Amino acid sequence: MKLALFISVFVIATCGLVYELIAGTLASYLLGDTVLQFSTVIGAYLFAMGVGSYLSRYIGKGLVARFVQVEALVGLVGGSSATLLSVAFVEAAAGFRVALYGLVFVVGTLVGLEIPLIIQILKDRLSLKDLVAQVLALDYIGALAASLLFPLVFMPKLGLLRTSFLIGLANALVALWALRIFKEELPRSGWLKTQCLAVIGVLLLGFAGASRVGAWADANLYADDVILARSTPYQKIVVTRSRHDVRLFLNGHLQFSSLDEHRYHESLVHPGLSAVRSPREVLILGGGDGLAAREVLRHPAVERVTLVDLDAEVTRLFASNPALAGLNEGSLRSAKLKVVNADAFTWLDQDPSFFDFVVVDFPDPSNHAVGKLYTTAFYSLLKRHLRPGGMVAVQATSPLFARRSFWCIEATMGAGGLHPVPYHVYVPSFGEWGFVLGTMGRYQLPETLPAGLKFLTPELLPSLFVFSKDMGRVPSEPNRLNTQTLVHLYDEEWEKINF
């Protein structure tokens, strides 16, 4: 009996942390700012666990029955949480935070009841010292198991919705198992068994229908037909298609529209790469869709391209899916290109290679995980990988809608040891969009551009470097790794924009 209960402790500890991770992940997908979402979700969850632990003092009779009911209830609520939150976001986005923290509080309170109830159940079977030591040890080991299983197994294999239902099933099965273990103490357990079986039935139906719920949520969140949706340990990938347009969304944020992405990617690559004399080796950081690589490969002098993108699923999809690979003209399958799936900061710190040109095509600095890639430390590191005469091109958000953020990136590049050369272009899907070249000397406009471009011409290039009064330079402090002021600037500015 003791062994069975200790196994139960391990299982419920694993489940408890997974619910917390699910809520934090879903909040970061839908609301952005990973650090803020995980911090507030964890804080609210731990507070709720404290409330649950305190409330356990009022449960003095029928401990086993109450434990079974708590397990069944946490399985039902926690197991349904990802689905309930997805529906809440679709149907009432304004009230999503209320639903999020309400569910976090309910689940956390129920989880907080579990360990005190188990300790009370076992207190007559073990000495207090051994009981507390063993129960808490298994609780912490279960938390470790959850922290490894969630990103390495559950998310890539099952996704958020199925993971949530599976973990709920684990809690409900613990409840059913407890009825068997304590059958002598619960001679009339028929009603409890019925409750457990009902919860298991609901969770099994939810697990079976999770893909339909996910498809419904995606269809209601995006204006066009969703043709592909994937959840990875890093982000939610969604591709939509209308009659003439294919769009990529990462965590709900538009990354490109096939109708006008050529304006963005030609402007990102060619003003800098065409100005480098005999560029043989090029590095692309981010850009897992292969669209920047397509533009780099238009330059005949380029012999080798290294593309470093964190998410292997993005590069796999855009290399193997015919519709997506068609957009990048098969660039990710080019013999000249090598794909590395790694964190760009870590990879730069460890790799000794040098490059003639670097394309930095990261998402906007909407959270601290991405914000570190817009810091003085990152640009200083990047500079060490440039050959003499080399150059860096960085996408730098909108100088019109996020003016202070744009000029902060420009100032940060300068503080990182590169000479910044800002420019911008109009992309209909995004509006005015900004870029910054980082050079180690004077920048001169190229006189020629590669063949096959749809937008850029040598005659148009000078206009990209002229800023209107409402986009002009504003004083900005550099973005440093220990402060990440850029993330806060970016959030403040984009919150004011309603498209």
Please give the positions annotated as active site. Answer: 361
List C-alpha distances in Å: 368 to 374, 385, 445. 10, 24, 34
CA distance 325 to 340: 18
Crossing angle (nearest 10°) for helices 34-55 and 96-122:
40
Positive/negative CA dihedral, 152, 157, 161, 166:
negative
Interstrand relation of 304-308 and 281-286 (parallel, antiparallel or unpaired): parallel
Longest dimension (CA), the chain: 89
Beta carbons of 80 and 168 less than 8 angstroms apart: yes
Q: Where are the beta strands (DSSP E) in 287-418?
A: 304-308, 337-340, 355-361, 386-395
Beta carbons of 318 and 325 less than 8 angstroms apart: yes
| Cα-based torsion angle of the residue sequence 107, 109, 112, 118 in order, rounded to the nearest 10 degrees | -90
Beta carbons of 164 and 80 less than 8 angstroms apart: yes
Please name the residue that has the structure tokens 């500890």: 13
The two three-digit tokens of residue 32, written as one number: 């952005």
DSSP assignment of 223-289: SSEEEEEEE-SS-EEEEEE-SS-EEEEETTEEEEETTTHHHHHHHHHHHHHTTSSS--EEEEEE-TT
Positive/negative CA dihedral, 498, 484, 311, 358:
positive
